[in-house]
Chain A
Amino acid sequence: SQQGEEDPQALSIQEGENATMNCSYKTSINNLQWYRQNSGRGLVHLILIRSNEREKHSGRLRVTLDTSKKSSSLLITASRAADTASYFCATDDDMRFGAGTRLTVKP
């Protein structure tokens, strides 16, 4: 089974609000990645954070990693309707994915 598990399963917010989704994993990792999937499309890689990093930014994305809690969070600031998608995490070279978080941003 996959190591990364996303939470919540679904999230609905208004445009302009921030969206936070979480990923928990079971064993020690070297890195963790977040992916995005628009409906009916393939997954697209968003960001990678290494185990020696605590926070990483990319545009409106902010990823944190807490290795002591074996968890990561993805924050999307000032969300837009175009951010509506499913978001997945994956650890190290694990090729398996969880159910993801389905984010809906209402205009």
Chain B
Amino acid sequence: SQTIHQWPATLVQPVGSPLSLECTVEGTSNPNLYWYRQAAGRGLQLLFYSVGIGQISSEVPQNLSASRPQDRQFILSSKKLLLSDSGFYLCAWSNGNSGNTIYFGEGSWLTVV
């Protein structure tokens, strides 16, 4: 069966520090991969999605970036965090075998102080 792992689960980072959130998917190949952000009590904002290695589409211009160095690995990064980057970050995947269903990781809580 397919699983998705996302880490770290929580982190507190000072303003101006770098960020790296990692996500891996197991049990499937060539998945579509997604990064979302959710502010407290709000809906999901799609940040990046990828349909293949090295193929990244950005939804919202910001100081975040994403990379897909391997088929089932998706990384969210920032060189210098802002206070406004605080939130709940979710990695997710889908592919043709899952239909249109998107499967989510458990999320990462980021607090920028």
Q: Which residues, 57 to 107 on A, are CB-close (under 8 Å) to B?
A: 88, 90, 92-93, 95-100, 102
B7 contacts A by Cβ under 8 Å: no
Q: Which residues, 22 to 48 on B, are CB-close (under 8 Å) to A?
A: 32, 34, 36, 41-44, 46
Q: Is the CB of B107 within 8 A of A40?
A: yes
**Contact flag A99-B104 (CB < 8 Å), given A40-B109, A42-B92, A43-B90:** no
- Which residue of B is nearest A94, CB measured? B100
**Contact flag A93-B90 (CB < 8 Å), given A41-B106, A41-B107, A42-B105:** no
- Given the complex, which residues of B lie within 8 Å of A44, measured CB to CB? 104
- Given the complex, which residues of A lie within 8 Å of B104, measured CB to CB? 42-44
B14 to chain A, nearest CB (A): 23
- Given the complex, which residues of B lie within 8 Å of A93, measured CB to CB? 94, 100
A45 contacts B by Cβ under 8 Å: yes
Q: Is the CB of B107 within 8 A of A33?
A: no
Chain B at the A interface: SS class: strand
Q: Is the CB of A45 within 8 A of B102?
A: yes
The count of residues in chain A whose C-beta lies closer than 8 Å to any C-beta of chain B is 21
- Given the complex, which residues of A lie within 8 Å of B90, measured CB to CB? 42-43
Q: Is the CB of B43 within 8 A of A97?
A: yes
- Which residue of A is nearest B109, CB measured? A40
A43 to B109, CA, bound (A): 15
Q: Is the CB of B42 within 8 A of A99?
A: yes
**Contact flag A40-B100 (CB < 8 Å), given A95-B34, A97-B43, A97-B44:** no
Chain B residues packing against A (C-beta within 8 Å): 32, 34, 36, 41-44, 46, 49, 88, 90, 92, 94, 99-107, 109
Listed from nearest, the 9 A-B pairs whose CB atoms lie closest are A42-B104, A99-B43, A97-B44, A93-B100, A43-B104, A45-B101, A96-B46, A42-B106, A42-B107
Chain A residues packing against B (C-beta within 8 Å): 31, 33, 35, 40-45, 48, 88, 90, 92-93, 95-100, 102
